[in-house]
Structure 1
Amino acid sequence: MSSKHVVMVVASGIASDARVRKTAVAVADLGHRVTLLYGELEATAPVEGTLGPVRTVGLPVAYTLRDEQVERRRARRAWRPSWPAYRDGDQEELGRTALNTRRARTGDTPEILFRRGIHWTRRRVRAAQDPVFRTAWGKVDGLRARFVDRIWRSELPNIADLDRVFAARMAAEAPDILHVHDIHLLSAGARVKQDSARAGRSVSLVYDAHEYIPGTVARTVIEENALKAMEADLIEEADAVITVSEPIAEALRDRYALPDTPSVVLNSPSLTVESTCDTDVRTASGVEAGTPLVVYSGVLNEKRGLPTVVQALSLLPEVHFAVVCVPDASHWRAALLMKAARKAGVEDRVHLIDPVAPEEILAYLRTADVGIHPLIAGLPNHEMALPNKLFDYLFAGLPIVVSDLKLMGAFVRENRIGTTFTASDHRDCARAIRDALDNADIYGGSARSEEFTARFSWERQAEHLAQTYAGL
């Protein structure tokens, strides 16, 4: 394949996104000119930079359409008639204050008694009408969710915000190949491809599906259904599809009747690029050598199951838990996790620390004793996932403890690289951690062959990426 201009796009920042960074450099190493466009929330103007041979441009993203829709819907849902019920708590408080003031002046006259009756009635009617309005809005949302496949664009204003920022810039870069990471910019990619075709230019579109969208959950059922409809509408525009595990590749092929099974590119570390770091997780946590240290590295959302590990610490009095927080240790979810630690009485053994660069993560993690990933069960996307942190722990030489989800649990058990536990069961989690600590010589790095790790190295994944690009 001759050298092409590849415009790679991702809606979020790239500082901690190892997959995007490695993919961009790998495509450049194939001999292509690569421009990586990414979303930069803090910027007011494009931020130019480089990532090895890759030119990077951070684009300011203001989610104005999304925020306007949220405010409109909040106002609609908050509306109540002002009679006979009180419209809201503020109006009720004004009525109570006015009644008490008049009553203090005149005492319980017949007029005051009448007004007290009116006040009591309006309070009771307000209490009764709130559930009615909530139920009505729930029925409206249910109806919208049923038909969202026809109107998904209006239900995803954040996608419109991204299209508005990215599509024009993507087109201005005059790409030969568009490589779209994750679903959020698939709409912009399809639009640029279609507009280019109308102008007589052929642009290939690669869709890099980081998750199985039909198997994830969003903030609302409407958003879930809208994202599914968006993917179903637009995936046929892709000339090639890449994803993160074989079960997801097969599910995408079958669900959308794709002509070819998507290529699988695991999010794994490099064998040839040495990871170095000026510090390490044990030092950053302040945990002395010899004290058992379990580490989790990644985002902190509720689907990651971290409270299960915090509760397990109450059964492991000598064990400390380091959480490498993405995006950082000041995130509000980090505060929630520490609140759970205080409730469990283990706050002195939970350490929230900031992340390091993706290229430093292996060296950073090596001083821990166990790497853990406690994903919750019940989501098809989780059951089919082989997350990047699994390979970070593997290449850092750590015994691995994971919740016993279908693919991840089987991978850990069958390769004897760690132990599994029943998802969300803190007692079983404590047992699995104890097992991993006691059998580190069986599960740890020294027990793994070079051939085994090479099978899952980024170098092997880059070969799959090269095959995909050769087929365009």
Structure 2
Amino acid sequence: MLVDNGVNGDSRVQKEARSAAEAGWDVVLLGRSPDKKEHTWQIGDAQVRLVRVPAPLRRRRHEYRRAILRAPLAYKPGPLAAYRKQKVKAWRADLSIRLVLARRSGGLGALRLLPARLAARLLSRWVGLRHRQTRRLDERRKAMTSPLDRFTTAFWQRTMGDRAWRRLDPGLWDYELAFGKEIDALKPDVIHANDFRMLGVGARAKLRASAKGRTIPLVWDAHEFLPGLKPWDPHPRWHVAQCAHEKEYARHADAVTTVSETLATMLAERHGLSEQPAVVLNAPDGEISPEQAAEPVPDLREQCGIGPDVPLSVYSGAAAPQRGLDIMVESLPRLEGLHVAFVVLRPNSDYMRSLRTRAEELGVSDRVHILPYVPHYQVVPFLSSADIGVIPIHHWPNHEIALITKYFEYSHARLPLVVSDVKTMGDMTVKTGQGEVFEAENVDAYVRAVEAVLKDPKKYRDVYETSGLLEQWTWEHQAAELDAVYTKLVTGSSRGER
């Protein structure tokens, strides 16, 4: 099983590994180490190994070259510009101290320093000019908006097609060079590649094994519709490179799993798949293991410092501007007494700090609580003491097509929902009646939705008593689907040999 992150914080991958091992598969989950060390641990009977992924190819080839025509005075790429600027500063600092000492001693010492001081001033201006050109060149290379940059991007796409990622984002090779040898050494019976970067790694491992006479089925678990993803890397070549990489290797997948029926249909159409992808929802565990159950669950309200009667709304999950969390802060002056809890992976990220600053400006900082993640098997009981579960995401193609993890977590916590009007979640919320839907990014509509839920929370909680609603939204049900995919691919092999 392959994933391009550090596993912690990725509940879907953790649950896949644990449940597959419980079903009798010998699972090794390979992830990316967050530092220069390798890490190993167990998730149930599944072994987790985080491998080092050196990234020298992350910088594109042109970033190592001087740009004689575009910036003739810029220093060559690398640390030289910063070194030269700092060196001149140090020289001038030294001369200023020598001048102080010379003046204290009297005589002609200060006069003798005049040529050196003049030279240092001139050199400082010259180095400053070159440093500014270097910085501007770096900025242009990151933006890549010049006619030449646009031409070269289009040139590689036109001439290389789906193979263009090799030029547009060679950093994808860093994953291959780190993971490939690890996979080959394991000689797996099935490769399960999570998401688009690991798809290529898994496909190439499958092809290498085939060349040696071994057949390894490849399962591609598509978490997102990549063309509709808001790029998390701002480089203008990143997104087109990932899309090309995915298209090149999608045809090598023997089975595809994904997170919703809508996304399954979109993937089948985009990649010309012979079979509709199997849907494996990222639902919470219906049951947890004895060792997990033995761990005490933190108290959400205690961590917020509030009592049981204080109204509390919660957001749990990834934190980014397109997730729309700002509306929960902006609305607080109009929602008297309501507290907000953000349960996020990085409580001190730039985005969360900006929300904290905005809360201070609005005078509501005492009602905003930013908390770290808890283990995925504790999420549901942890959130259950809140009054409202909020999903305020903006309209992006990927946001329209799935019931995301937190939707199921809030549901199992039996929280009334306040959801923006993205299609799939908005439609489901209207269908079940488990919450209110508001127009995304509209503070007035959001306030009305929250007020409606707080006015009659029992109306929404009663929906969860509907027979079968939550039973189908459990990971145990989804794990059976995943196990069926594996079993179909290796029909005829002995489960005892896995």
Q: Please say whether Structure 1 and Structure 2 have the same fold, judged by a TM-score greater than 0.5.
A: yes
SS in structure 2 at match of 1:352: strand
Structure 1's 311 and 189: CA in aligned 2 closer, same or farther, altered over 3 A? same
Return the letter of the residue paired with 1:9. Answer: L
What are the superposed Cα offsets for residues 392-436 of structure 1, whole Å, 9 maximum, x if unpaired? 100011111111101111111111111111111122111111112
The alignment status of 1:249 with 2:264, answered yes or no, reads yes
**What's 1:334 paired with?**
352
Residues 368-379 of structure 1 aligned to structure 2 (within 5 Å): 368-377=386-395, 379=396
Residues 149-168 of structure 1 aligned to structure 2 (within 5 Å): 149-168=162-181
Structure 2 contact 30–51 (Cα < 8 Å) conserved: yes
Q: How many residues matched?
A: 430
Structure 2 contact 153–168 (Cα < 8 Å) conserved: no
For residues 242 and 184 of structure 2, the distance between their equivalents in structure 1, rounded to whole angstroms, comes to 24
RMSD of Structure 2 on Structure 1 (CA) = 3.2
**What's 1:16 paired with?**
9
1:197 to 206, 210, 215: 210
Please, which runs of 5 or more residues in structure 2 have no aligned partner?
A: 75-80, 89-128, 490-498
Structure 1 contact 396–445 (Cα < 8 Å) conserved: no
The alignment status of 1:389 with 2:389, answered yes or no, reads no
Structure 1's 47 and 374: CA in aligned 2 closer, same or farther, altered over 3 A? same
**What's 2:44 paired with?**
52
What are the superposed Cα offsets for residues 297-319 of structure 1, whole Å, 9 maximum, x if unpaired? 11212221111211111211211
Shift of 1:133: 6.9
For residues 78 and 316 of structure 1, the distance between their equivalents in structure 2, rounded to whole angstroms, comes to 58
**What's 2:221 paired with?**
208
Structure 1's 79 and 309: CA in aligned 2 closer, same or farther, altered over 3 A? farther
Structure 2 contact 163–245 (Cα < 8 Å) conserved: no
Structure 1's 199 and 342: CA in aligned 2 closer, same or farther, altered over 3 A? same
SS in structure 1 at match of 2:276: coil
What are the superposed Cα offsets for residues 252-298 of structure 1, whole Å, 9 maximum, x if unpaired? 00111100010110100122327664322111111222111000111
2:370 to 340, 352, 359: 352
For residues 154 and 19 of structure 1, the distance between their equivalents in structure 2, rounded to whole angstroms, comes to 32
Return the letter of the residue paired with 2:476. Answer: E
Structure 1 contact 398–444 (Cα < 8 Å) conserved: yes
Shift of 1:439: 2.4
Structure 1 contact 152–230 (Cα < 8 Å) conserved: yes
Shift of 1:81: 4.0
**What's 1:187 paired with?**
200
Return the letter of the residue paired with 2:8. Answer: A
Q: Give the alignment's TM-score, normalised by structure 1.
A: 0.83
Shift of 1:46: 2.2
What are the superposed Cα offsets for residues 2-24 of structure 1, whole Å, 9 maximum, x if unpaired? xxxxxx01110112211001111
**What's 1:104 paired with?**
none
For residues 265 and 466 of structure 2, the distance between their equivalents in structure 1, rounded to whole angstroms, comes to 29
**What's 1:173 paired with?**
186
**What's 1:140 paired with?**
148
SS in structure 1 at match of 2:51: strand
1:69 to 55, 60, 68: 60
For residues 464 and 192 of structure 2, the distance between their equivalents in structure 1, rounded to whole angstroms, comes to 38
For residues 348 and 402 of structure 1, the distance between their equivalents in structure 2, rounded to whole angstroms, comes to 24
SS in structure 1 at match of 2:468: helix
Structure 1 contact 372–401 (Cα < 8 Å) conserved: yes
For residues 233 and 244 of structure 1, the distance between their equivalents in structure 2, rounded to whole angstroms, comes to 22
What are the superposed Cα offsets for residues 57-90 of structure 1, whole Å, 9 maximum, x if unpaired? 1112233321x4399279759963459xxxx9x9
The alignment status of 1:263 with 2:278, answered yes or no, reads yes
Structure 1 contact 265–461 (Cα < 8 Å) conserved: yes
Identity percentage of aligned residues: 32
1:466 to 483, 487, 495: 483
Return the letter of the residue paired with 1:12. Answer: N
**What's 2:245 paired with?**
230
For residues 375 and 74 of structure 1, the distance between their equivalents in structure 2, rounded to whole angstroms, comes to 41
Structure 1's 228 and 318: CA in aligned 2 closer, same or farther, altered over 3 A? same
Shift of 1:341: 2.0
Return the letter of the residue paired with 2:329. Answer: V
For residues 282 and 175 of structure 1, the distance between their equivalents in structure 2, rounded to whole angstroms, comes to 46
Return the letter of the residue paired with 2:438. Answer: F
**What's 1:27 paired with?**
20
For residues 268 and 46 of structure 1, the distance between their equivalents in structure 2, rounded to whole angstroms, comes to 30
What are the superposed Cα offsets for residues 342-390 of structure 1, whole Å, 9 maximum, x if unpaired? 233322211111111111111111111111111111x211110211011
Structure 1's 433 and 255: CA in aligned 2 closer, same or farther, altered over 3 A? same
Shift of 1:214: 1.2
The alignment status of 1:449 with 2:462, answered yes or no, reads no
Please, which runs of 5 or more residues in structure 1 have no aligned partner?
A: 1-7, 95-121
Q: Give the alignment's TM-score, normalised by structure 2.
A: 0.79
Shift of 1:321: 0.5
Return the letter of the residue paired with 1:190. Answer: A
Structure 2 contact 190–486 (Cα < 8 Å) conserved: no
**What's 1:428 paired with?**
445
**What's 1:289 paired with?**
308
Structure 1's 137 and 404: CA in aligned 2 closer, same or farther, altered over 3 A? closer
Structure 2 contact 316–406 (Cα < 8 Å) conserved: yes
**What's 1:118 paired with?**
none
Structure 2 contact 285–377 (Cα < 8 Å) conserved: no
Shift of 1:448: 2.7
Structure 1's 426 and 59: CA in aligned 2 closer, same or farther, altered over 3 A? same
For residues 385 and 14 of structure 2, the distance between their equivalents in structure 1, rounded to whole angstroms, comes to 25
Structure 1 contact 193–204 (Cα < 8 Å) conserved: yes
SS in structure 2 at match of 1:62: coil
1:36 to 18, 29, 46: 29
